[in-house]
A and B are shown apart, each in its own frame.
Chain A
Amino acid sequence: MKKRSLRTTIIISFSALITSVILILSFSSSYITGNMLNDITSNNGYQAISQLNLIIENYISYMDDMAHVVLSNTNVNRANDNPQEFLSTIISARRDIESIILAYEDGNIYTDNSMDPINKSLNLRKLDWYIYAATIDENGYISSAHVQNIIEDQFPWVISLSREIVNPESREKTGAILVDLNYAVIEELCKNIKLGNKGYVFIVNSSGDIIYHPRQQLIYSNLKTEKIDDVLKNNNMSFKAKVDNQDLIYSSITSDKTGWTIVGVSFLDELNRNRDRVIIVFAFIGMLCFIFLMAISFILSRMITKPIQVLRDSMVRVQHGDFSFSLPALGHYEVAELAYDFNIAIKKIGELIEENKVEQELKRKHELRALQAQINPHFLYNTLDSIIWMIECEEYEDAIDMTTALAHFFRLGISKGKDIISIRSVTDHIESYLTIQKLRYKDTLDYTIDVDPELYEYQTLKLLIQPFVENSIYHGIKNKNGSGQIEIKGYKENNRLVFTVSDNGVGLSEENIKMLESFKKPTLGTSGIGIYNVRQRIKLFFGEEFDVKYTSKLNEGTTVKIILPLILGGKIW
């Protein structure tokens, strides 16, 4: 799987974090606030119905007071007196009292208005308010809402309160007093209570009869149902119910005085509307926060990853071998530290690589030194053979000379382990070599050495010239009939040190010259290897501009020109 970038990871985790935090926060706060709002609303509803209950109780108390006032008037107890005037005086103060009626056992009925014709078909003893009229000691009997039909052709809706009229002497019931409250007053009060747009208030008495209900007719026509039984069961408690496909909240309060239960009905969807408003607000805020925080996370991730990106790009440069730069101060503390450390690291690495290169070169040089050492034994065996042979032939003079030259040769060759020797030593070394060879080849070899003494103090690598001399003898002269002539010259030319080794040997074909100058490594063990090594040493130690040049004519001889730098004392490298 492809690994995600740091920035992506940061953005993904930030967005997950932001989203979950915002979701949790807005959900919980809108939930809590919504519920709080619902509580407040239902509390307000409850207060409204409590208020309504108080007002209704006041009305009932007032009606009762009225009844008491009438009853305390002594005239009332005597059925033969007409109390009509008294009644109309009392009622004139209040418009909300529909009527006050005195009804007696003997069938006499008095109202507050003498003009009102009494309904003759009325049977008192069949009317609830008359039958259940309360005694003086108890609470007044309160009817449910009903149409009052005592007065002919008038059908006002009233709520009635009734009390017994008792003969003070006999203590017998002689009649009842009825105080009618205009029902419209109650209706108005109930209608004015707003429980949301659709919510409403209704009133039932203790037996479940509806006192007031705005949809009473719908209930009677079965077009609407109301949870009256549940309300009476869950007295003074709020509960939820589903009625006619609507979720309703019922809260009720029951009055001790009237026995009525006032019920507030709220619609849950209306209540939830407040909560929904809260949700909108919270969602809006949450969305703003989301956008804001996402923008921040983008910027932040960029701030974090940009310097890291720069570091990474630098690392790629390093991978390609570029150590030649250093980073500017980057980003924040940690990353800046990192960049600083990075700079130190690449500097160190650069240095180490440089050191490594030098070491590698040294190794090569040591290898070469070992090769140099390889050259010597062959020559040594041959020379020692010659010495033995000379001694056997009793040519002691020559043997002594040769041995001396050999000793000299090796002393100079080894030169106390030093690689650098003076041109004087080089010259001496070649001379000892040629002395040995002259003794071996006698008249077939002649040589001259002409090195400018000015050059004696200059220095160079040892064993540079000798292999060419050796080559001239073994490849030039040895294969030639007659005597060979070797001429060695050393001089300064164009501020360079030049040695030439010339012979009058068989010479080289142009192909051979080309092959030699092409500087190809010859196969191991062939004769070219010594020359190849020399040339390599020259180039390694002095540089590419120093080299070996051949000029040759077939059967006439070869001249090798060795061009070296002019080095006076000190180290070469």
Chain B
Amino acid sequence: MVKAVKVIIISSIILLFSVIIYLKWISINIDQNSNYKIIVVLKSIKQDKSSIWVSIIDGLETAATDFNVKLEVMGPERDSDIFGQIDILESLTESNADAIIVAAADNKRVIPALSRLEEKHIPLIFIDSFSEEVLGQSRIGMDNYTAGFTAGMRAMEHIEKNSLVAILSFIQGSSTAIERENGILDAFGGDMNLIPTFYSGGTIEVSYNQTLKLLNRIPNLKGIITLDNTVTTGAAIALDEMGIGDKVKLIGFGNSLEILGYIQKGIILETIAQKPFNVGYLGVKTALEIIRKGKYSQFIDTGHIVINKSNMFTHENQKILFPVQSR
């Protein structure tokens, strides 16, 4: 009798506990609001509506809702405010973020601040722009070498062999610039006559001026390959002004609306575009994988697409190239 009652009491208690555990498990499932916090530090928060950053932020936010992540986007007022970004990164050493996604404003000067974050064992994910040293856990963006290689191959297709071609780069020593240039050179394989590379320093004005000079000095220049947004825009403006868009084939990098406008006008022949939405989306997705599983991939290539006048308005490309602007 006593034994049986004991058995009943014990089994009741076990039942009770298992029910409680089951309920705990369910409520954990239900209460997913207390989730990971990911901080995103961009080059600047006030972005032109036309820039790819609108799509990147869209991708970040979409992933945040998809994966139930608390997202906090911050950054300095302007792109050029590198120290503003460094200040923000330094302040984050005391934050409770589970991961930090960074679009480095400068590939060298941000390194000390980032190292401090890494010492705190906060996972770092780079999107779009990386730091020089391979810091952090993952880098997400376009593979610059293959993109450069594609650009080179496109140029080979449009420009006759052994023509005079100029490469206009932005910042000397920048890893992005070097990788893209290497890709182009490998695609050429010595089949083009190259004019020594120009460096604009990252401003549209300088590249515009450089292009004008170049066109004036080398009248038989057949092609220009520009390595980033600013250089492409500057070169396009120069070509448009001189009205020789069809004589000099311009193949560039970047997908700003300005560049797309020049493609539509026929000034820029082709541009290598990124998939900014995917960069943002995969940034959050990768951060989450690192937080949850601790595994990280060194580099995720978000791919690139070649945009020209005939394919810029296809269904797929429209969505990648043109951000929706609310009025």
Q: Show the binding face of A for B, using Cβ within 8 Å.
A: 4-5, 7-8, 11-12, 15, 19, 95-96, 119, 121, 144, 146-147, 149, 152-153, 155-157, 182-184, 187-188, 197-198, 209-210, 214-218, 220-221, 223, 269, 273, 276-277, 279-280, 283-284, 287, 290-291, 294
Contacts of B261 in A (CB 8 A): 152-153, 155
B320 interfacial contact with A, CB 8 Å: yes
Q: Which of B16-24, B75-83, B132-140, B167-175 is found at the contact surface with chain A?
A: B16-24
Q: Which range holds the interface residue count of chain B?
A: 35 or more
Q: Establish whether residues A183 and B266, one from each chain, have CB atoms under 8 Å apart when the complex forms.
A: no
Q: By the criterion CB–CB under 8 Å, are A4 and B12 in contact?
A: no
Interface status of B315 (Cβ within 8 A of chain A): yes
A218 with B278: in contact, given A184-B324, A283-B22 (CB under 8 Å)? yes
Could you pull out 12 A-B pairs where Cβ atoms are within 8 angstroms?
A: A4-B1, A7-B1, A7-B5, A15-B12, A121-B309, A147-B313, A147-B318, A152-B265, A155-B257, A217-B281, A269-B29, A290-B16
Q: Are B5 and A279 in contact (CB under 8 A)?
A: no
B68 touches A (CB below 8 Å): yes
**Are B23 and A284 touching (Cβ within 8 A)?**
yes
Rounded to whole angstroms, the CA-CA distance of A220 and B275 in the bound complex is 10
Q: Is B157 an interface residue (CB 8 A)?
A: no
Q: Is the pair B30, A273 in contact by a Cβ cutoff of 8 Å? A: yes
Q: Which residues of B contact A (CB under 8 A)?
A: 1, 4-5, 8, 12, 15-16, 19, 22-23, 26-27, 29-30, 55, 59, 62, 65-66, 68, 257-258, 260-261, 264-266, 275, 277-278, 281-282, 303, 309, 313, 315-316, 318-322, 324-327
A223 adjacent to B22 (CB under 8 Å) = no
Residue pair B324, A183 in contact (C-beta under 8 Å): yes
The reply to whether B278 and A188 contact each other, CB–CB distance below 8 Å, is: no
Measured between C-beta atoms, what is the minimum distance from A122 to chain B in Å?
9
Report if A217-B278 is in contact (Cβ < 8 Å); known contacts: A8-B4, A155-B322, A209-B315: yes
20 more A-B contacts (CB under 8 A) besides A15-B8, A119-B264, A283-B23?
A8-B5, A11-B4, A11-B5, A11-B8, A12-B8, A19-B15, A152-B265, A153-B257, A155-B257, A156-B325, A198-B68, A217-B277, A221-B303, A223-B281, A273-B29, A276-B30, A277-B30, A280-B30, A283-B22, A284-B23
A215 in contact with B12 (CB, 8 Å): no
Residues of B contacting A19 with CB < 8 Å?
15
A184 adjacent to B326 (CB under 8 Å) = yes
B313 touches A146 (CB 8 A): yes
| Chain B positions within 8 Å of A144 at CB level | 315
A8 to B265, CA, bound (A): 93
- Who on chain B is nearest to A155 by CB? B322
Q: How far is the CA of A5 from the CA of B59 in the complex (A)?
A: 70
Q: Given A5-B1, A8-B1, A121-B266, are A155 and B260 neighbors across the interface (CB < 8 Å)?
A: yes
Residues of B within 8 A of A216 (CB): 319
A573 to chain B, nearest CB (A): 51
Choice from B22, B30, B260, B319 contacting A217 with Cβ under 8 Å: B319
Cα-based distance from A216 to B317 in the complex (angstroms): 11
Instruction: Say how far B115's CB is from chain A's closest CB, in angstroms.
Output: 32
Q: Given A149, A157, A269, A290, which contacts B12 in the complex, CB threshold below 8 Å?
A: A290
Determine if A184 and B19 form an interchain contact, defined as CB atoms under 8 angstroms apart: no
A199 to B8, CA, bound (A): 46
Q: Kindly state the separation between the CA atoms of A220 and B302 in the bound complex, as whole angstroms.
A: 12
Name B277's contact: one of A149, A187, A218 (CB within 8 Å). A218
Residues from chain B with a CB closer than 8 A to the CB of A8 are: 1, 4-5
Bound form: Cα–Cα A7–B260 in Å: 88
Nearest-CB residue, chain B, relative to A297: B8
A218: B residues at CB distance < 8 A: 62, 277-278, 281
Distance to closest chain A CB from B148 (angstroms): 21
Q: Are A157 and B277 in contact (CB under 8 A)?
A: no
Q: Which residues of A contact B59 (CB under 8 A)?
A: 217
B265, closest chain A residue (CB): A121
Q: Closest CB-CB distance, A515 to chain B, in whole Å?
A: 60
Tell me how far the C-beta of B127 lies from the nearest C-beta in chain A, rounded to whole angstroms: 15
User: For B30, what are the chain A residues with a Cβ–Cβ distance below 8 Å?
Assistant: 273, 276-277, 280
A287: chain B residues within 8 A (beta carbon)? 16, 19
Q: How far, in angstroms, from A256 to B322 measured CA to CA in the complex?
A: 30
**Distance of A290 Cα from B12 Cα, bound (Å):** 9
